[in-house]
């Protein structure tokens, strides 16, 4: 079981949360165990999961005094689009199990914050429905299956929906060893009775998720297959069809078919970033999949300085993994990131209080980032660099 965050009064409303940890605690109270562990868990011994957070505590900040920080500018430009914050809502799956219409509520929260929303291929809302909710950039994430016709189908729909970027996730040729997940299922797509019975202790969650008498499904996959399956059944179907042969030649194949910004997510080696640049990508996300794929790998934050030395200004340099504070965002930007992707932090808000909770999570991060810059004596994110560290 995950480590518990500090306790708070029962029934705390999301707008009273003063930190992401508060939203996390509220999410734990509301979610059944099998969903909460899906949200929290990492691969195997969860060493990488812990490293993602630990990376932000190793550095010492050096504030500069007597600087005019009466107005702090958090805006940035990414792929020619001005953003209110250097944040992107990361592509995450199964959001319909965290809150009813979870993906649509996340998209609405991203619009309110003025930041891009990256929709997962395994989201539980159609590409078209998400596009209708967004007034900010809509990115579409893709896993490549052995049947390349599925990728072509998804690309065609993403282009028609005017998605601004395509995010190819490359760190999942096989499914990570998530032991906590397997303990909840007797066999693929069949939960154990203990997990089913524990769910009954969460009536608010049941009423929200099953309000229309049926659970959420992977509707974008259904649009291709033409079949209706439960979420666990479709997840198993996808795992069996992931293309473990995906290689650099396939990236060229995808580049030919996608005329807009192409982002590769899941790189952890500087040489792979160089190859991606040579292949004509427009951006990369340094990522270890939230610690959910290969355990014992390093933190993306620690790789940033090396990659920034040759990639900064040539492509959009992004990272994710362990973002829980505005000071975490400031560190990533100072080390060379153009923006960061936030996953669990905003999902805690969604699970705790739907769209209002997701908005609260983004507001907390924005407020903390502004306060961090002011206390560092940096009036804008453009003034962040390695000199903020001792």
Residues in Cβ contact with 297 at an 8 Å cutoff, skipping those fewer than 6 apart: 48, 268, 288
Instruction: Assign 9 a pLDDT band (cuts: 50, 70, 90).
Output: very low
Question: Is 29 a residue whose pLDDT tops 60?
Answer: yes
Q: Alpha-carbon distance 337 to 294, whole Å?
A: 23
- Report the pLDDT averaged over residues 151-157: 97
Of the chain, the percentage scoring pLDDT greater than 90 comes to: 84
Length, in residues, of the chain? 390
pLDDT at position 286? 98
- Report the pLDDT averaged over residues 2-29: 72
Q: Alpha-carbon distance 7 to 5, whole Å?
A: 6
Question: Is 70 a residue whose pLDDT tops 50?
Answer: yes
Angle, helices 344-376 vs 20-30, to 10°: value is 170
Tokens for 313?
């200004």
Three-state SS for 271? helix
Of the chain, the percentage scoring pLDDT greater than 70 comes to: 96
Tokens for 93?
């799956």
Q: Alpha-carbon distance 213 to 229, whole Å?
A: 15
pLDDT at position 181? 79
Instruction: Assign 12 a pLDDT band (cuts: 50, 70, 90).
Output: low
How many degrees, rounded to 5, is the angle at CA 253 between CA 248 and CA 258?
Answer: 120
In angstroms, what CA-CA distances link 87 with 29, 341, 342, 376?
Answer: 27, 6, 7, 20
How many degrees, rounded to 5, is the angle at CA 259 between CA 258 and CA 262?
Answer: 65
pLDDT tens per residue across span 107-151: 999 999 999 999 999 999 999 999 999 999 999 999 999 999 999
Question: Is 222 a residue whose pLDDT tops 60?
Answer: yes
Class of residue 311 by CB neighbours under 10 A (exposed 0-12, middle 13-18, buried 19+): buried
Query: Do 199 and 155 meet the contact criterion of CB atoms below 8 Å apart?
Result: no
Q: Alpha-carbon distance 299 to 56, whole Å?
A: 10
pLDDT at position 213? 67
pLDDT at position 5? 38
Choose, from 25, 184, 202, 289, the residue flagged as catalytic: 289
- Report the pLDDT averaged over residues 36-55: 96
- Report the pLDDT averaged over residues 147-174: 96
Q: What is the mean pLDDT of the chain?
A: 93
pLDDT at position 8? 38
| Placement of tokens 């991060």 in the chain | 365
pLDDT at position 10? 36
Query: Do 321 and 361 meet the contact criterion of CB atoms below 8 Å apart?
Result: no
- Report the pLDDT averaged over residues 155-166: 98
Tokens for 283?
């951006």
Q: What is the 3-state secondary structure (H, E, C) of 171-221?
A: CCCCCCCCHHHHCCEEECCEECHHHHHHHCCCHHHHHHHCCCCCCCCCHHH
**DSSP label at 334?**
H
Range with lowest mean pLDDT among 27-36, 177-186, 216-225? 177-186
Query: Mean pLDDT highest for which of 77-86, 181-190, 215-224?
Result: 77-86
- Report the pLDDT averaged over residues 362-372: 98
Question: Is 52 a residue whose pLDDT tops 80?
Answer: yes
Question: Is 4 a residue whose pLDDT tops 50?
Answer: no
Query: Do 14 and 105 meet the contact criterion of CB atoms below 8 Å apart?
Result: no
Residues in Cβ contact with 67 at an 8 Å cutoff, skipping those fewer than 6 apart: 377, 378, 379
pLDDT at position 239? 87
| Placement of tokens 């396939």 in the chain | 250
- Report the pLDDT averaged over residues 258-262: 98
Burial 1-12 (b: 16+ CB within 10 A, else e): ebeebeeeeeeb
| Placement of tokens 């005329």 in the chain | 259
pLDDT at position 186? 81
Question: Is 335 a residue whose pLDDT tops 60?
Answer: yes
Query: Do 346 and 362 meet the contact criterion of CB atoms below 8 Å apart?
Result: yes
Three-state SS for 339? strand
Tell which wins on pLDDT, 9 or 385: 385
Tell the CATH topology of 25-60+76-179+239-373: TIM Barrel (3.20.20)
Question: Count H helices, E strands: the chain?
Answer: 16, 12
pTM of the model: 0.94
- Report the pLDDT averaged over residues 255-284: 98
Residue 16 annotated as catalytic: no
In angstroms, what CA-CA distances link 212 with 85, 100, 215, 264?
Answer: 36, 10, 8, 37
């Amino acid at each position: 079981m995950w480590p518990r965050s500090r306790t708070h009064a029962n029934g705390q409303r999301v707008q009273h949360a003063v930190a992401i940890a508060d939203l996390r605690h509220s999410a734990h109270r509301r979610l059944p165990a099998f969903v909460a562990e899906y949200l929290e868990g990492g691969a195997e011994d969860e060493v990488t999961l812990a490293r993602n957070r630990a990376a932000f505590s190793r550095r010492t900040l050096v504030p500069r005094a007597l600087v005019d920080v009466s107005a702090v500018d958090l805006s940035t430009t990414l792929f020619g689009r001005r953003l209110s914050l250097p944040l992107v809502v990361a592509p995450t799956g199964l959001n319909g199990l965290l809150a009813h219409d979870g993906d649509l509520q996340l998209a609405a929260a991203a619009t309110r914050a003025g930041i891009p929303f990256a929709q997962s291929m395994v989201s539980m809302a159609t590409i078209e429905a998400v596009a209708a909710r967004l007034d900010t950039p809509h990115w579409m994430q893709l896993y490549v299956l052995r049947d390349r016709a599925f990728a072509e189908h998804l690309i065609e729909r993403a282009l028609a929906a005017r998605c601004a970027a395509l995010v190819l996730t490359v760190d999942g040729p096989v499914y990570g060893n998530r032991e906590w997940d397997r303990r909840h299922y007797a066999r693929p797509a069949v939960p154990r009775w203990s997990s089913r019975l524990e769910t009954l202790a969460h009536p608010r969650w049941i009423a929200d998720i099953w309000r229309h008498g049926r659970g959420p499904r992977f509707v974008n996959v259904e649009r291709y297959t033409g079949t209706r399956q439960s979420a666990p059944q479709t997840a198993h179907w996808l795992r069996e069809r992931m293309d473990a042969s995906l290689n650099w030649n396939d990236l060229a194949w995808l580049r030919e078919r996608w005329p807009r910004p192409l982002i590769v997510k899941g790189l952890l080696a500087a040489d792979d970033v160089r190859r991606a640049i040579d292949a004509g990508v427009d951006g990369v996300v340094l990522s270890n999949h939230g610690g959910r794929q290969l355990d014992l790998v390093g933190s993306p934050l620690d790789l940033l300085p090396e990659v920034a030395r040759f990639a900064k200004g040539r492509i959009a340099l992004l990272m994710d993994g362990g973002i829980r504070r505005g000071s975490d965002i400031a560190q990533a930007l100072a080390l060379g990131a153009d923006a960061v992707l936030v996953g669990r932090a905003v999902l805690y808000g969604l699970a705790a209080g739907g769209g209002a909770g997701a908005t609260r999570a983004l507001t907390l991060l924005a407020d903390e980032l502004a306060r961090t810059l002011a206390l560092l004596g940096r009036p804008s994110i453009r003034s962040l660099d390695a000199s903020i560290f001792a």
